[in-house]
Chains A and B, each alone.
Chain A
Amino acid sequence: MFRALLAGDGASLEVLSKIFCGSDDPRQGAAALRCLDFLSRQKQEMDTMTFEEVEQLQTRLHLFGTRFRKLSRSHNLHTSASVQLLFGFKLDDTGLEATIFPNSCIPTLASQILSMKRTEKGSLVANAQELGFWVTQFVSRRLVSVLYHHGAVSLRSKPFSGFCYAYLEGWKCNCESRRLHCRKEEVPLFYNRKVRLYLKQLHLLSQGEPLNLTERVIQRK
């Protein structure tokens, strides 16, 4: 994974994220989140995407959404081995203080929110519970930001817009329409595929919310 991250190899990271997501091990969990976050930051040209490519993107974002939402609703997030590995900090023996690693993003991102002190050895220490709250807030914000952006881009993209068959039917010599070009007889097929995209989009934006009301309430507590 780290080699792929260093090389910016999105294709390998996509395969790896699926492998890591299939495991309950905290290390693999952290690795899955690292891969999915990298992939969520990649620029997507949805205008030029085919139906298949959009579906692939939706699958990946659904994985991102479910993982990050689950994380954002976890209790005592600071005690999670996976979160400690991912964000680069370690709890002390009492579990009250967290030592932040020098390369962690926490000092940069949370310097104005979190009170941190430097020890005699030069390492940064923060209150573990406060750090946990910050991580929860950060993960929620990141999740909303990624899904909001995806939703906004989808609304403007070709696969989600209406069809234009005037050009391929020869009624127009040139067509500058931003809509998807198709033949008249292909419209029902394209329409079905579009409905599937919309349904998958709903699934994606639900972020894996439990169907059962009680489970939903428990998660939100």
Chain B
Amino acid sequence: MDDCNLEKTPVLEDLGRYIEAGEVRSAAGDTIDAIRLFILGGDQDRAAQCLCDAFWEQMPYGTTVTDLNAERVRALEEVSTGINVATPQLKNEVCTLSPISL
């Protein structure tokens, strides 16, 4: 992602085009801001999808929370509280503590 696109995001945010700004942030690897923007734009499922991908990147098979990823995992946990997911699959993957049967 070139810097030019990333520089557009404040403008997009000012215009209220949060989802487009979120996509730009997501492509640039700025997941936390991307999730916040998706939530602001009202696309809860896209926010949850982004959150799931970020969790998988931080905690794939055979890994635990270490000094290297602790801060990022904490940030993801914080941002996950603002998501209200309708899709049960995504909810089970990240957000809920009590599993929902499909």
Contacts and interface: CB of A to CB of B under 8 A. Distances in A.
Interface of A: 1-7, 9, 12, 15-16, 19-20, 22-23, 25, 27-28, 30-31, 33-34, 37, 85-88, 101-105, 109
Contact of B94 (A3, A9, A88, A104): A3
Contact of B60 (A4, A20, A87): A87
A109 B93 contact: no
A4 B97 contact: yes
Nearest to B61: A86
A16 B99 contact: yes
Contacts of B101: 15, 19
Contacts of B61: 33-34, 37, 86-88, 105
A12 B98 contact: yes
Contacts of A12: 97-99
A105 B60 contact: yes
B62 to A, nearest CB: 4
Given A12-B98, A88-B57, A109 B92 contact: no
B99 A15 contact: yes
Contacts of A5: 59
A27 B59 contact: no
Given A12-B97, A22-B102, A3 B92 contact: no
Nearest to B73: A6
A77 to B, nearest CB: 13
B89 A88 contact: no
A9 B89 CA distance: 19
16 contacts: A2-B55, A2-B93, A2-B94, A3-B77, A3-B80, A6-B65, A6-B77, A25-B89, A27-B89, A31-B92, A85-B60, A86-B60, A88-B56, A88-B61, A103-B69, A104-B63
A33 B61 CA distance: 9
Given A12-B97, A31-B93, A101-B60, A23 B102 contact: yes
Contacts of A33: 61
Contact of A1 (B58, B62, B77, B92): B92
B50 interface: no
B63 A105 contact: yes
Contacts of A16: 92, 99
A3 B52 contact: no
